Chain A
Amino acid sequence: MLIQADELSSFLQRCQAQSLGPYREVHFPVWPADRDSPHAVLALAPGQARPALDGHRAVDPAKLLFYRVRERLAPFSADASATLLAGVKACDVRALELLDRALVNDDFADPAYRAWRERATVLSFDCTDAAPSCHCTLVGGKPYAETGFDANASRFGDHYYLSAATPKGDVLLELIRKNAGGDTAHSAIPAKVEDRRAEMTAKVQRQSDAFARPDAFARLRAAPPKGWKEESAECVGCGACTHICPTCYCLILNDESRAAGFVKVRSYDSCQWHGYARVASGASPRPRIDERFRHRYLCKLVTMKAEFGTLGCTGCGRCTDACPGGIDFRKAVQKLMERAGDERPDAGAR
Chain B
Amino acid sequence: MKPNPYEAIPAIITETVDETPLIRTLRLKPDRPLAFRTGQFIELGLPGLGEAPFTPSSSHFVPDILDVTIMKAGFLTEHLHEAKPGDRVGLRGPFGSAYPLEAFENRDLLILGGGCGLAPLRSLFLTLLDEIHRYKSITFYAGAKTPQDCPYKDAFPVWRKHPKVKLVRAVDAVPLGEAWDEEVGVVTVLLGKLDIDPASSPAVVCGPPVMMKFGTRDLLRLGFREDRIYLSMEKKMYCGVGQCRHCLMGGYYVCKHGPVFTYAQIKNEEGLWD
* Neighbouring A residues of B158 by C-beta, 8 Å: none
Residues 233 to 255 of chain A near chain B (Cβ within 8 Å): 249-255
Cα A251 to Cα B270 in complex, Å, equals 22
Given the known A-B contacts A286-B271, A306-B251, are A111 and B244 also in contact in the complex, defined by CB atoms under 8 Å? no
Which of these, B6, B46, B74, B256, contacts A264 with CB under 8 Å? B6
* Neighbouring B residues of A276 by C-beta, 8 Å: 236, 246
Question: Which of B4, B209, B238, B241 neighbours the largest number of chain A CB atoms within 10 Å of its CB?
Answer: B4
Residues 251 to 274 of chain B near chain A (Cβ within 8 Å): 251, 256, 268-271, 274
Interface of B is mostly: loop
Cα A330 to Cα B146 in complex, Å, equals 54
Cα A350 to Cα B252 in complex, Å, equals 9
Residue on A nearest B270 in the bound complex, by CB: A285
Given the known A-B contacts A264-B8, A269-B246, A277-B236, are A108 and B271 also in contact in the complex, defined by CB atoms under 8 Å? no
Residue on A nearest B267 in the bound complex, by CB: A348
| B255 → chain A closest CB, angstroms | 10
Q: Is B40 an interface residue (CB 8 A)?
A: no
Cα A279 to Cα B235 in complex, Å, equals 6
Contact B4 A254 (CB under 8 A): no
* Neighbouring B residues of A283 by C-beta, 8 Å: 209, 274
Given the known A-B contacts A107-B242, A350-B250, are A76 and B234 also in contact in the complex, defined by CB atoms under 8 Å? no
* Neighbouring A residues of B245 by C-beta, 8 Å: 249-250, 271, 299
| A276 → chain B closest CB, angstroms | 6
Question: How many A-B contacts if CB must be within 8 Å?
Answer: 111
Q: Is A257 an interface residue (CB 8 A)?
A: yes
Cα A263 to Cα B175 in complex, Å, equals 45
Q: Is A157 an interface residue (CB 8 A)?
A: no
* Neighbouring B residues of A307 by C-beta, 8 Å: 251
Task: Say which size band chain A's interface belongs to.
Answer: 35 or more
Cα A259 to Cα B77 in complex, Å, equals 20
Residues 85 to 125 of chain B near chain A (Cβ within 8 Å): 90
Residues 159 to 194 of chain A near chain B (Cβ within 8 Å): none
Q: Is B208 an interface residue (CB 8 A)?
A: yes
Cα A263 to Cα B47 in complex, Å, equals 8
Q: Is A261 an interface residue (CB 8 A)?
A: yes
Given the known A-B contacts A75-B7, A255-B51, A264-B6, are A285 and B235 also in contact in the complex, defined by CB atoms under 8 Å? yes
Q: Is B50 an interface residue (CB 8 A)?
A: yes
Residues 308 to 342 of chain A near chain B (Cβ within 8 Å): none
Which of these, B5, B74, B90, contacts A280 with CB under 8 Å? B74
The 0/1 profile, CB within 8 Å of A marked 1, for residues 205-224 of chain B is 00011000000000000000
The 0/1 profile, CB within 8 Å of B marked 1, for residues 93-135 of chain A is 0000000001100011111000000000000000000000000
Contact A108 B241 (CB under 8 A): yes
| B90 → chain A closest CB, angstroms | 4
* Neighbouring A residues of B244 by C-beta, 8 Å: 250-253, 269
| A256 → chain B closest CB, angstroms | 7
Q: Is B202 an interface residue (CB 8 A)?
A: no
Contact B6 A253 (CB under 8 A): yes
* Neighbouring A residues of B71 by C-beta, 8 Å: 280
* Neighbouring A residues of B270 by C-beta, 8 Å: 285
Contact A103 B73 (CB under 8 A): no
Q: Is A272 an interface residue (CB 8 A)?
A: no
* Neighbouring A residues of B209 by C-beta, 8 Å: 281, 283
Q: Is A278 an interface residue (CB 8 A)?
A: yes
Contact B5 A255 (CB under 8 A): no
Contact A108 B234 (CB under 8 A): no
Q: Is A347 an interface residue (CB 8 A)?
A: yes
Residue on B nearest A278 in the bound complex, by CB: B236
Q: Is A45 an interface residue (CB 8 A)?
A: no
Residue on B nearest A307 in the bound complex, by CB: B251
Q: Is B10 an interface residue (CB 8 A)?
A: yes
Given the known A-B contacts A108-B2, A250-B246, A269-B244, are A279 and B239 also in contact in the complex, defined by CB atoms under 8 Å? no
Q: Is A260 an interface residue (CB 8 A)?
A: yes
Q: Is A74 an interface residue (CB 8 A)?
A: yes
Which of these, B2, B238, B268, B269, contacts A253 with CB under 8 Å? B238
Given the known A-B contacts A251-B244, A279-B234, are A108 and B5 also in contact in the complex, defined by CB atoms under 8 Å? yes
Contact A257 B48 (CB under 8 A): yes
Residue on B nearest A73 in the bound complex, by CB: B6
Which of these, B10, B248, B268, contacts A347 with CB under 8 Å? B268
* Neighbouring B residues of A103 by C-beta, 8 Å: 243
Contact B268 A256 (CB under 8 A): no
A-B pairs, 8 with minimum CB distance: A350-B251, A285-B271, A74-B6, A348-B268, A262-B8, A108-B241, A280-B73, A73-B6
Question: 9 other contacts beyond A257-B48, A277-B247, with CB at 8 A cut-off?
Answer: A74-B8, A253-B6, A255-B47, A262-B90, A271-B245, A281-B73, A283-B274, A285-B270, A348-B268
12 contacts between A and B (CB under 8 A): A74-B4, A102-B243, A108-B5, A109-B5, A255-B46, A255-B51, A257-B49, A260-B47, A261-B47, A269-B244, A276-B236, A283-B209
